[in-house]
């Protein structure tokens, strides 16, 4: 039997290298999204011999409209490499912790997370899944690039550009400008509106915190002093995750967005990184084009799994029949909107 114990950040991170962790469990990420109503939470899962089998970190939300104490995790458990503990055991210990500490609900997402929770085997949880697009850098070559992207690169070669890498929070305003430009262009073409801060609780302030904590890098393609394409990545254990990317109209026309991707891929290869995760895709139909672009860069599709409970405490528990009905509804915009409300 496993028991979940809350730890301080310094206690929790002390032996983290012994576990299969990822950037979205890193305290630098957790602290970047925390504030007065979003409290960092660090849990160890310990067996009867007092050995820690797994860890998890996330946010305790105290301002949610339905349920004042929800636990939100960006990724699943960091399991000790030699541990044979099952998903069911870990989920059971987490559920008991939530119940004992008056937590209303547990939501575990799956950013950059493997398939450990594909079959959780626990009646209190429902499995959730997403698609992510990852380039395995040691296997990637120029032959993996689609011929259309090679045409983009030929156009980009005709422009006198420079590639830069930085860890400067002063570049965040330009990133925000270009993200706004992308959003406006999508709306002009009557595409679905979207929130560039797709990760829950992520904000402009989060970006500055990530840079200052040293886990975020910014890459740019420029003509002179003008940044036309910009990307922010997260780095952890020789793995990179594309957090945000945006390009101006000139950059798209001249193939500079593709050029930036290729430059970043080459840079991470030189540094000996093992993977470059291009992130997931929007659930809306408009996400098809983005998914296609990522595969044309040579990314492979991976299914990532999370888990979620119904409401655990009363009176919110009375809403559980609505949650169950929602899981049977077709996957469309209205369903997504209703689920966000709950």
pLDDT digits (tens, 9 = 90+) for 229-249: 999 999 999 999 999 999 999
pLDDT tens string 98-131: 999 999 999 999 999 989 999 888 999 999 999 9
> What is the distance, to the nearest Å, from the Cα of residue 305 to the centroid of all Cα atoms in its chain?
12
- Report whether pLDDT(144) > 70: yes
pLDDT value at position 187? 80
pLDDT value at position 195? 82
- Residue 250 backbone dihedrals phi, psi, to 5 degrees: -60, -45
- Helices then strands, counting H and E runs in the chain, come out as 11, 13
d(CA 136, CA 268): 11
- Report whether pLDDT(283) > 70: no
pLDDT value at position 328? 77
- Report whether pLDDT(31) > 60: yes
pLDDT value at position 185? 82
Average pLDDT over residues 193-216: 93
- Report whether pLDDT(221) > 60: yes
Mean pLDDT in the chain? Answer: 92
- Report whether pLDDT(93) > 90: yes
pLDDT value at position 88? 96
pLDDT tens string 300-332: 999 999 999 999 998 888 888 888 887 777 665
pLDDT value at position 98? 97
């Amino acid at each position: 039997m496993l028991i979940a114990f809350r730890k301080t950040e310094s206690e929790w991170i002390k032996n983290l290298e012994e576990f299969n962790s990822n950037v979205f469990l890193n305290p630098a990420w957790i602290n970047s999204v925390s504030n007065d109503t979003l409290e960092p939470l660090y849990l160890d899962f310990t067996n009867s011999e007092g050995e820690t089998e797994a860890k998890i970190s996330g946010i305790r939300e105290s301002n949610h409209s339905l349920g004042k104490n929800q636990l939100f995790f960006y990724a699943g458990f960091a399991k000790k490499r030699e541990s044979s503990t099952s998903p069911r055991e870990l989920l059971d210990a987490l559920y008991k912790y939530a119940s004992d500490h008056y937590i209303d609900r547990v939501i575990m997402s799956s950013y950059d997370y493997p398939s450990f929770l594909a079959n959780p085997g626990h009646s209190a949880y429902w499995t959730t899944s997403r698609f992510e697009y990852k380039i395995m850098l040691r296997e990637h070559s120029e032959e993996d690039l689609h011929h259309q992207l090679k045409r983009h690169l030929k156009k980009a070669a005709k422009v006198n550009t420079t590639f830069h890498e930085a860890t400067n929070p002063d570049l965040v305003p330009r990133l925000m400008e270009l993200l706004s430009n992308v959003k406006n262009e999508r709306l002009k073409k009557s595409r679905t509106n979207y929130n560039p801060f797709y990760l829950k609780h992520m904000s402009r302030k989060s970006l500055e915190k990530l840079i200052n904590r040293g886990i975020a890098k910014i890459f740019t393609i420029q003509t002179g002093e003008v940044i036309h394409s910009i990307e922010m990545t997260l780095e952890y254990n020789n793995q990179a995750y594309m957090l945000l990317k945006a390009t101006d109209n000139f950059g798209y026309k001249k193939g500079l967005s593709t050029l930036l991707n290729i430059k970043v891929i080459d840079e991470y290869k030189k540094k000996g990184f093992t993977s470059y995760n291009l992130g997931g895709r929007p659930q809306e139909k408009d996400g098809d084009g983005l998914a296609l672009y990522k595969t044309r860069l040579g990314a492979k599709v991976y299914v990532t799994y999370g888990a979620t409970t119904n409401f655990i405490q009363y009176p919110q528990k009375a809403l559980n029949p609505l949650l169950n009905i929602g899981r049977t509804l077709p996957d469309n915009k209205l369903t997504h909107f209703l689920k966000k409300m709950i």
